[in-house]
């Protein structure tokens, strides 16, 4: 384990609420930042993270799981070679605190600073934040574990050649072997396959898929760190390294057969008690979630003319989330219409409300729906129909 500073959660949340023209962090995100689900040994995310951590610490990896979620634009984007016009930089996709600070979109945001500090084999785990769609597999806060391994002239095995290509091939082979071992450690003996991918900060880049539950599933992305990133982190020209990243919720939902991502945030004992008795690094075999209820959903439609500047759907999803919180299960476009004379576009979205632990009453949903309509008109500038 690595020595880590303790986080002042109250101070972080106070920073997130600081007024600024560019601050688009809603109260619901501020309240749940730094919840620490990934370090809770009684929580399925904490147990999965502990299992991953145990696998890597056998080979000398350090773990950083208490890093502040507030990072700079340089950390989150520039140091990782993210293009200036990349969609992830837009405020429709990312939570900004001000012009230079934001809530990290991925744990990779800490990669360069930790390499520059002299760390060569480490994990980074924590909560990450993205403005996203509303359904059973997406939530604006989720958790990631990223890993990095770096070698230089003094630590590379002597049998590795001195050319950049030889070192890249060594790192890629070592990466594949390590991550295939991780998958076996977590999922057992499963079929695996490598798929070519693209990430700005690695080349070559790959995704690892497993055959689980009668289908192929992507479990992580990875690749060889681009030399420019290592150079900017202060490593010599002969250095080489690899990096990977995985989402804890995504894997836990598959591993435990959890049907809805909102369940990770519940305090309902019928959920939490199922995992409380698991081993600290996760039970073997993993606990299979037993559904304890299926309360009926309630659907409401909202129709509106788009504002003149158009609509970024993540803005709509944010309006619904702020009004309904975890009562919203899904938001989906069911109809659109363009007026033949004015060319104005009208859309109709269907919102599904469902409480995980009780039956909703219509009057309660009506109040929430009225708030949703108010926010769409006020915050987006749409004309309700």
Q: pTM value?
A: 0.92
pLDDT at 139: 96
In CATH terms, is domain 9-276 a member of 3.30.930.10?
yes
| Structural domain spans, the chain | 9-276, 298-384
The two structure tokens encoding residue 13: 């949340």
Report how far residue 129's alpha carbon sits from residue 131's, in angstroms, rounded to the nearest whole number: 7
Residues 6+ apart with CB under 8 A from 366: none
pLDDT at 39: 94
Residues 6+ apart with CB under 8 A from 259: 136, 253, 289, 291
pLDDT at 75: 97
Report how far residue 58's alpha carbon sits from residue 354's, in angstroms, rounded to the nearest whole number: 43
CB 280 within 8 A of CB 41: yes
Q: pLDDT tens track of the chain, all 385 residues?
A: 445 656 777 788 888 989 999 999 999 999 999 999 999 999 999 999 999 999 999 999 999 999 999 999 999 999 999 999 999 999 999 999 999 999 999 999 999 999 999 999 999 999 999 999 999 999 999 999 999 999 998 899 988 888 999 999 999 999 999 999 999 999 999 999 999 999 999 999 999 999 998 899 999 999 999 999 999 999 988 899 999 999 999 999 999 999 999 999 999 999 999 998 776 555 566 889 999 878 899 999 999 999 999 999 999 999 999 999 999 999 999 999 999 999 999 999 999 999 988 899 999 999 999 999 999 999 999 999 9
Q: What is the DSSP string of 54-82?
A: HHHHTTT-EEE----SEEEHHHHTGGGT-
pLDDT at 6: 65
Q: Which of 353, 350, 313, 348 is nearest to 329 (CA)?
A: 353
**Continuous H helices in the chain:** 9-16, 27-32, 44-57, 73-76, 111-116, 164-187, 227-232, 248-256, 269-276, 313-324, 362-375
Report how far residue 237's alpha carbon sits from residue 326's, in angstroms, rounded to the nearest whole number: 49
Superfamily, domain 298-384:
Ferrodoxin-fold anticodon-binding domain (3.30.70.380)
CB 114 within 8 A of CB 203: no
């Amino acid at each position: 384990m690595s020595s880590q500073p303790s986080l002042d959660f109250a101070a972080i949340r106070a920073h997130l609420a600081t007024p600024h023209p560019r601050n688009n962090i809603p109260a619901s995100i501020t309240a749940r930042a730094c919840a620490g689900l990934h370090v809770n040994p009684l929580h399925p995310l904490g147990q999965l993270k502990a299992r991953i951590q145990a696998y890597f610490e056998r080979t000398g990896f350090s773990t950083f799981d208490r890093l502040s979620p507030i990072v700079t634009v340089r950390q989150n984007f520039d140091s990782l070679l993210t293009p200036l016009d990349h969609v992830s930089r837009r405020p429709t996709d990312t939570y900004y605190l001000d012009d230079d600070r934001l809530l990290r979109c991925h744990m990779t945001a800490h990669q360069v600073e930790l390499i520059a500090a002299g760390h060569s084999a480490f994990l980074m785990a924590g909560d990450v934040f993205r403005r996203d769609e509303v359904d059973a597999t997406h939530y604006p806060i989720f958790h990631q574990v990223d890993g990095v391994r770096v070698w230089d002239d003094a630590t590379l095995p002597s049998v590795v050649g001195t050319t950049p290509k030889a070192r890249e091939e060594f790192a890629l082979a070592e990466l594949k072997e390590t991550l295939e071992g991780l998958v076996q450690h977590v999922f057992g003996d499963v079929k695996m396959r490598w798929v070519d991918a693209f990430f700005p900060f690695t080349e070559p880049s790959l995704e690892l898929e497993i055959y689980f539950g009668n289908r192929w599933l992507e479990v992580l992305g990875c690749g060889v760190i681009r030399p420019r990133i290592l150079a900017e982190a202060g490593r010599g020209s002969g250095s080489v390294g690899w990096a990977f990243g995985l989402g804890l919720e995504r894997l836990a939902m598959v591993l435990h057969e959890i049907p809805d991502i909102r369940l990770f945030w519940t305090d309902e004992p019928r959920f939490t008690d199922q995992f409380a008795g698991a081993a600290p690094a996760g039970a073997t075999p993993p606990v299979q979630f037993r559904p304890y209820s299926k309360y009926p959903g309630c659907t409401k439609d909202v129709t509106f003319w788009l504002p003149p500047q158009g609509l970024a759907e993540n803005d709509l999803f944010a309006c619904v989330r702020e009004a309904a919180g975890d009562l919203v299960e899904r938001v989906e476009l069911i109809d659109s219409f363009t007026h033949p004379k004015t060319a104005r576009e009208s859309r109709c979205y269907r919102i599904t409300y469902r409480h995980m632990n009780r039956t909703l009453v219509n009057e309660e949903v009506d109040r929430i729906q009225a708030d949703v309509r108010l926010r769409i008109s006020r915050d987006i500038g749409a004309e309700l129909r």
